[in-house]
Amino acid sequence: MEMRLPGAAVLLCMVGVLHAFAIEDKGDVFSRMACPAFLMFDNAAYLADMTFELPCNCKPKEVSSVVWYFQKNMGSHKTTVLTDFAGTVVIDSQHINVSSNILKRFSIRMFSLIVFQAQVTDSGHYLCGTKKGDFFYGYDVDVQPTKHITVAFLDSGQHVQDNFREKLFSFFTTFWDWSRCDRCGVRGEQRRIGLCYVRSGQLHPRYRTAIPNVTSCGSRAVPPRFQCAVRLRRPEVAIRSCLTPCLKEEVSKEGMQSISNVISKLGEKPWLPHIPTQFHKQIVGSGLVIACPGARPEHAVAWDKDSVRLYRSRYLIGVNKSMRVFIDHGNHLHIQRVQVSDGGIYYCWHEGKMVASFRLSVFHQKQRKRTLSDPETIFAIKAISLSYILISIVFVIIHVCRHCQRAFGSPART
């Protein structure tokens, strides 16, 4: 008699086999790679707001869970423990904010440490070990800032930074590959991120690099006497125009969108793409930051408002000091001091495909009567009361000093 397993049972069996294979494959990695007798630090460089993963590349067979530690400087007595001591920390990255500290922005999955939306303050040493303090593997992480990043618009004839050479060291930029075109069917833009690196024969020997005598500019392997010169070199990004066709299923949509622009000019209702739409209401004068769903700083992201393309050549942060609407290097759209004219539909492109839209409504805040429970009223009462108390104390001190001067002053001559 032939027996047949239900489809769900077969699926569960397949999942179990795949999970066992993943664990066995991970175990093979640890068995093939022996831990170094002397702890070394692998150099890794990222741009601020990026998410990075640090695998624990080696551990003894008897260790079933790892503990991750963070030290700002080597040998520092201040060490942060990034674990729940079970090695199973898994968090939802959707609930993470840039302003959160590192203890709220990390996750441990399959012995690997994941840090979300890294900040410059996250630069330092990351060590994989046990709860007893035995270390197996270490990383020297350099998170380079985007605040004063150098931008080169190649279409305008601008050029990337030249290499800087000295007798004992030299600085240069290592560029990543060009990103995909951030739009399809219309003119788009590409970005190329470049990180700062230094070449010197005097790097600290305890730090391991992919290329001999080359490490990132913020690495702890760089001697302290070079640090002043390192700060003069900044990471950079190059931007150029691009044009790429849409995929077959998107060609008809793009054609419809071109037709919709004509129809909208005639007063007809324009065509809207079949993408998720979020609704936002903002008060005049407030600030708004919009993030493209699923996008990271290294991805190709573009923004449009209605039929206007918000190209980085005009809307990238830093292009104009008086900018009120701009795009930062993390691909977020910022609208400061929101005005009524900012209302409309904003479209987000991700890796060359339109993925989301945001309908923004702007309104004036209605005037309401102040009550004693309002935070503003409570703050004003506290400020006035504190000022009155301080003035009273100063008044009393002045009169006490004058009274003492009269009482203990020298007697008048007769």
Question: Which CATH homologous superfamily contains domain 276-363?
Answer: Immunoglobulins (2.60.40.10)
Q: Identify the CA nearest to 231 among candidates 244, 242, 222, 239.
A: 222
Question: Which CATH homologous superfamily contains domain 28-144?
Answer: Immunoglobulins (2.60.40.10)
Q: What is the CA radius of gyration of the chain?
A: 30
219-223, 244-248, 284-288, 407-411: the lowest-pLDDT one: 407-411
> What was the pLDDT predicted at 399?
87
pLDDT tens per residue across span 283-339: 998 999 999 998 888 899 999 999 999 999 999 998 888 889 999 998 999 999 999
Q: What is the 3-state secondary structure (H, E, C) of the chain?
A: CCCCCCHHHHHHHHHHHHHHHHHHHHHHHHHHCCCCCCCCEEEEEEECCCCEEECCCCCCCCCCCCEEEEECCCCCCCEEECCCCCCCCCCCHHHCCCCCCHHHCEEEECCEEEECCCCHHHCEEEEEECCCCCEEEEEEEEEECCCCCEEEEHHHCCCCCCCEECCCEEEEEEECCCCCCCCCCCEEEEEEEEEEEEEECCCCCCEECCCCCEEECCCCCCCHHHHHHHCCCCCEEEEEEEECCCCHHHHHHHHHHHHHHHHHHCCCCCCCCCCCEEEEEEECCCCEEECCCCCCCCCCEEEEECCEEECHHHHECCCCCCCCEEECCCCCEEECCCCHHHCEEEEEEECCEEEEEEEEEEECCCCCCCCCCCHHHHHHHHHHHHHHHHHHHHHHHHHHHHHHHHHHCCCCCC
CA torsion 127-131-133-137 (nearest 10°) is: -30
Of the pLDDT bands very low, low, confident and very high (cuts 50, 70, 90), residue 367 is low
245, 251 Cβ separation under 8 angstroms = yes
Q: What percent of the chain has pLDDT over 90?
A: 42
> What was the pLDDT predicted at 140?
94
Within the chain, all domains assigned CATH 2.60.40.10 are found at 28-144, 276-363
The encoded tokens of residue 340 equal 């009524």
Whether the model clears a pTM of 0.85, i.e. scores above it, the answer is: no
Average pLDDT, the chain: 80
84-88, 116-120, 369-373: the lowest-pLDDT one: 84-88
> What was the pLDDT predicted at 86?
53
Of the pLDDT bands very low, low, confident and very high (cuts 50, 70, 90), residue 123 is very high
pLDDT tens per residue across span 43-61: 999 999 898 999 988 877 7
